Amino acid sequence: MKTTNRFFTAFAAAILLFSTITISAQDEAPKGPQYVVMTTLHWNMDIEDFNKDEWKATEKEYMDKVTKKNEHIMSAGFYLHSITPDNTELVYVQAFPSWNAIDLASKRNGELAREAWADDDARKAFFDKQNAYYTSMHSDEIYATMANAKAVNEVKDGSIVYVRTSHFNFPKDGSNAEFNETFKEYVENVTHKNEYIKGYYPMSHAYGADGREFIEAYFLDSLSDMDKMFDKNGELYNAHWKDEAARKKMDEKGGKYFTGVHGDAVYSVVPELRK
């Protein structure tokens, strides 16, 4: 991985004005991470005799000596392609307590790296080895955390993350209050009650290519639990909104805040590479 990927430099904060309403993230966000940086990397397919265990050992060394000691990074982890359009991709995710912490973490990473590999040649050799696993192509997106998350307590071998990317719509008759109330009601009565969902993290665009993005990351114990999750969601939805009229009203109220277009991706969790 190129060192610039890890030593992420924060962009200047951008204020986005959305037609008549703004989908609010930070106003409702709970204590904890406020921003999430997702770096999409790509494997170097020209490596001969690629050994996944050696890659894990290399990244674990960096995580133990740098990432885990960086007080500005609240959490971090690697997620590998499982069901995505590009089998060469993997995603490195870091969570931060503030916008300023992104820049502070970058500087602290440099300090910790110099402490861990005090010898210039040794440090260069390590980063050359680490960087060799990836191409120079990468992309970064920054998301703001939202309220109603469900914290994952444990990940294990076989755990996956199902990522759903939707797009906000900004109706003239909408409001932050109505969106937040509707979103909270759904999550509390469906997502949080679904035993197959081990963790849930909603996020909205903060800096990146598409200001309409709404990301939902669902942690599941296995790929086979995805169908069970969807079935259970339906059961819980029908249990809370008990008649057709109530369900229709909820669908109309919540649905107007989204374009109806969404994308799906599945990544496998690397339990050894998590802070």
Q: How many other CB atoms sit within 10 Å of the CB of residue 204?
A: 20
Which range marks the domain in which residue 254 is found? 147-271
Q: Is the same domain home to 216 and 116?
A: no
Q: CATH no. for residue 214?
A: 3.30.70.100
Q: What is the structure's pLDDT at 32?
A: 86
Q: What is the structure's pLDDT at 3?
A: 38
Q: How many other CB atoms sit within 10 Å of the CB of residue 84?
A: 19
Q: What is the structure's pLDDT at 82?
A: 97
Name residue, tokens 């359009």: 85
- pTM given for the model: 0.88
b (16+ CB within 10 A) / e for 41-59: bbbeeeeeeeeeeebeebb
Q: What is the structure's pLDDT at 14?
A: 27
**Blockwise average pLDDT, block size 10, the chain, 275 residues:** 34 28 45 93 95 98 98 98 96 98 98 98 98 96 97 94 97 94 97 98 95 97 97 98 96 95 97 97
> Which of 126, 141, 156 is the C-terminal boundary of a domain?
141
Q: Is the same domain home to 63 and 164?
A: no
Sort strands 258-274 and 199-207 into parallel, antiparallel or unpaired.
unpaired
Count up the domains in the chain and report the number. Answer: 2
- Which residues 6+ apart lie within 8 Å of 35 measured at CB? 95, 96, 98, 99, 101, 102, 142, 143, 144, 145, 206
C-alpha 222/C-alpha 229 separation (Å) is 11
> Which of 141, 160, 195 is the C-terminal boundary of a domain?
141
Q: Is the same domain home to 164 and 216?
A: yes
Q: Is the same domain home to 123 and 211?
A: no
Q: Is the same domain home to 85 and 194?
A: no
